[in-house]
Structure formats: C-alpha cells, structure tokens
C-alpha cells in the first residue's frame, strides 16, 4: 500500500507591496455601469473592514505566471533534496496562464506546466506536464490527482505548483479588485510504502462541484466602466452569493471528511484555508466548530487554529494554501508551527463552484 508524503515545499511572494493608497485615485463603478458616489476613502475603509486586507502583492512587469511558478518549484525541489530529473509529473494549478503584458490576454499554449518544466531545465522525457484549471481550489486538487497517481504506482515523485498573477486580470473600476494579488506556491509529493509505523502523509480528501447557477458566481467579464477598453478578460465575482454558498457547503464537507477518518476536529492542529476573505473564512470556521458544539469562538481562539495571511498578502487564488504551508513549515509565521505527528486540514473554495479539503499528517521523524 502506498502513501503520499510531502518531501519539499516552496513559495514566491512578489516584493511589490500594494497598499490602500494605490486605489485612492481609482474610479469605482457599480454593476449597472454607474460611477459610485461614495468617496474612495469610504469605499476602501468598508472593504478593509470586511476582508481585513491591508496590503497585497503584485509582480513586477518583467515577470510572468510561469516564471513565479518556476521560482517556487525550485525552492520546493531544493527543500526536498530530490534530483529534478526524478520528477515524473508536473501539475501546475492556475487559471489564466501567462497573461500578455500589453494585450492582457491569457496565453495557455504551451501549458504552464510545460513552461515550468522548461524553466527548470528538466530533460526527462517521461516527466509529463499537466495543467490544473480548477479555480482557487486548483492546488489542493492537484495534490489529490498526484496522490491518486502515486497510489496507482504511475509515479514516484510529483511536483505540484500553484501560481497566479491576478493583478493582470482585474478591473480597476471594480471594488473587488482590491481583494486579488499575485503569488506562487509549490510542493513535491513522493510515494512511500505504508505501514503501521508510517501512518502519515495524505490521509483522506474530498471534492465537490456545484455547477448549476453556482457556475457563474465567479467568472470573467467586461469592465464595470463601459469606457474601459484595455481588456475584455476581467475577473468578476458575486461576493454575496459566494459567501452564502461557502457558509452553507464548506463546513459540512469538512466534517464529512473528518467523519470518514473517525477524527474529531480537536485532533486537527491547524486548518489552512484558502485566503479569500477574512470575514468569510472566520464565519466558515465558526460554523464548523459549532457542528462540534464549541461555544468559545472569539477571534483569538479562531486565529490559533486557522493561520491567516490575507491581511498582508491578499488573495492569490491557487497560491494561498501552499504559501501558508511553506511559511509555517519554515518558521516564518510565529507563533504558528507544525510538529512531527501533527495533522492539518487544508481547505479551499473556488470558481465553479468547487470545494475541496485534505487531511495530512506529518511524519513523526524527519525523512
């Protein structure tokens, strides 16, 4: 029997920090194409109160999505101490490919995974590149696919990258543009022979997809400003419907994952949730804990269980969860830490609507 273990992690955060002042001169429009009459100060204050986002990161003009994916991948490979030619698959999670710096159009040919392989200078012809287009849930879904390939003995080592440059596909006239950011994460997943002494690695996971009216809660569209002509590909979301959907569906799915493995929430050390919106993430956790009859749900208690980066890094889509994981594992998010033998829960919600979650247990001894 095969289990999949994480042998290395990495991430990339752009050094271009975007603060609230960046948006002070923007002209914001509503869904009807009318300019919002409120002052930018009022708009930004309300946005920050709900999301808690104070800063976000944008890549420099000379970088592409595949570039930052390759940077994170190199760090993960170095962390794993695995020779790059021993990678059997590269699974790259993203949604927009390499966005052209002038036309602002998505470029998906060749695939991002193939470009990452090229940038890593991997010569192995049997290293197969796959792209995972699955909304913000793409990295966890890539981990799920990798686990299935490893358990089926089609591979021994798989590199899963996640990267997005949402700053290139946001509508500057949409208030929601302030949520999004850029970043990349990566992990190397390897196969081990399972035994009672090696009861760790990926324990269980699940995915659900609601593709009826939920399909259009997050999509692309023209600018809210009818006079804005720079790009027809702008990320658009119905925040209220996503919030309602998340609170209804995510806690129950998480509990189902835990129930399947006969685990109680108290046996989970950390919950690494997709950094979408602080208010929504805290509300999801509260509903989950109430399913276990928790009553003490103040913010300090929640923050100990659920580390948050959205305040400083914004929502970098597929990159938020692996970035969180790498930061904690490398001691860069004190007081948060993960000890040998700890179980963590990784959860994400994204366009589709897609939800997935995974329980992972860390080895009791370093590999």
pLDDT-based confidence at residue 136 (cuts at 50, 70, 90):
very high
- Domains of the chain, earliest start first: 2-198 (3.40.47.10), 201-361 (3.40.47.10)
The structure tokens listed for 198 are 């090696």
Distances (CA, A) of 66 to 18, 71, 163: 22, 9, 7
pLDDT of residue 209: 94
Report the candidate in 129, 96, 102 with the shortest Cα–Cα distance to residue 319: 96
Rounded CA-CA distance 317/78 in Å is 24
Q: What is the DSSP-derived secondary structure letter of residue 141?
A: H
The DSSP bridge partners found for residue 343 are 361
Q: What is the DSSP-derived secondary structure letter of residue 217?
A: S
Contact (CB, 8 A) for 91 and 160: yes
Tens digits of residue pLDDT in 64-110: 999 999 999 999 999 999 999 999 999 999 999 999 877 778 889 99
Contact (CB, 8 A) for 57 and 16: yes
pLDDT of residue 104: 76
Rounded CA-CA distance 337/339 in Å is 7
The most distant pair of C-alpha atoms in the chain lies apart, rounded to whole Å, by: 64
Tens digits of residue pLDDT in 164-188: 999 999 999 999 999 999 999 999 9
Give a three-class secondary structure readout of 77-108: HHHHCCCHHHCCEEEEECCCEEECCCCCCEEC
Q: Which residues, including other chains, have CB under 8 Å from residue 180's CB and lie 6 or more apart?
A: 56, 166, 167, 170, 235, 314, 315, 316, 317
Burial class of 187 by CB neighbour count within 10 A (0 to 12, 13 to 18, 19+): buried
Contact (CB, 8 A) for 130 and 113: yes
Can you give the C-alpha Rg of the chain in angstroms?
Answer: 20
Give the number of other Cβ atoms within 10 Å of residue 296's Cβ: 8
pLDDT-based confidence at residue 365 (cuts at 50, 70, 90):
low
Angle of helix 112-120 relative to helix 65-80, nearest 10 degrees, comes to: 50
Contact (CB, 8 A) for 143 and 358: yes
Rounded CA-CA distance 86/122 in Å is 9
Peptide bond into 110 cis (omega under 30): yes
Q: Does the global pTM surpass 0.75? A: yes
| Phi and psi torsions of 126, nearest 5° | -90, 0
Tens digits of residue pLDDT in 316-356: 999 999 999 999 999 999 999 999 999 999 999 999 999 99
Q: What is the DSSP-derived secondary structure letter of residue 121?
A: T
The b/e string for 24-39 (b: 16+ C-beta within 10 A; e otherwise) is: eebebbeeeeeeeeee
pLDDT at residue 134 tops 70: yes
Contact (CB, 8 A) for 67 and 27: no
pLDDT at residue 231 tops 70: yes
Tens digits of residue pLDDT in 290-316: 999 987 777 788 889 999 999 999 999
pLDDT-based confidence at residue 367 (cuts at 50, 70, 90):
very low
């Amino acid at each position: 029997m095969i289990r999949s273990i994480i042998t290395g992690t990495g991430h990339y955060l752009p050094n271009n920090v975007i603060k609230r002042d960046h948006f002070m001169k923007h002209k914001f429009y509503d869904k009807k194409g009318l300019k919002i009459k409120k002052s930018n100060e009022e708009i930004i204050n309300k946005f920050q109160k709900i999301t808690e986002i104070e800063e976000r990161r944008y890549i420099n003009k000379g970088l592409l999505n595949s570039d930052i994916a390759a940077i994170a991948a190199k760090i993960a490979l170095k962390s794993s101490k695995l020779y790059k030619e021993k990678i059997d698959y590269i699974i790259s999670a993203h949604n927009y490919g390499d966005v052209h710096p002038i036309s602002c159009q998505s470029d998906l040919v060749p695939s991002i995974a193939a470009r990452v392989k090229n940038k890593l200078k991997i010569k192995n012809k049997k290293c197969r590149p796959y792209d995972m287009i699955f909304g913000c849930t793409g990295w966890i879904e890539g981990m799920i696919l990798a686990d299935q390939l490893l358990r089926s003995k089609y591979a021994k080592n798989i590199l899963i990258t996640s990267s997005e440059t949402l700053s290139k596909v946001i509508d500057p006239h949409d208030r929601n543009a302030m949520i999004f950011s850029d970043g990349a994460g990566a992990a190397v997943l390897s196969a081990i022979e399972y035994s009672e002494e090696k009861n760790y690695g990926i324990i269980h996971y699940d995915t659900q997809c609601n593709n009826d009216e939920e399909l259009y809660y997050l999509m692309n569209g023209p600018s809210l400003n009818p006079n804005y002509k720079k790009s027809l590909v702008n990320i658009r979301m119905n925040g209220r419907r996503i919030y309602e959907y998340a609170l209804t569906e995510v806690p129950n799915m998480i509990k189902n994952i835990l129930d399947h493995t006969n685990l109680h929430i108290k046996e989970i050390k950390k919950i690494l949730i997709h950094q979408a919106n602080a208010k929504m993430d805290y509300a999801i956790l509260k509903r989950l804990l109430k399913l276990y009859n928790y009553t003490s749900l103040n913010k300090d208690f929640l923050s100990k269980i659920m580390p948050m980066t959205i305040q400083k890094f914004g929502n970098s889509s597929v990159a938020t969860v692996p970035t969180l994981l790498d930061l904690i594992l490398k001691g860069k998010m004190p007081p948060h830490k993960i000890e040998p033998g700890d179980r963590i829960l990784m959860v994400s919600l994204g366009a589709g609507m897609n939800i997935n979650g995974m329980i992972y247990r860390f080895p009791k001894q370093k590999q």
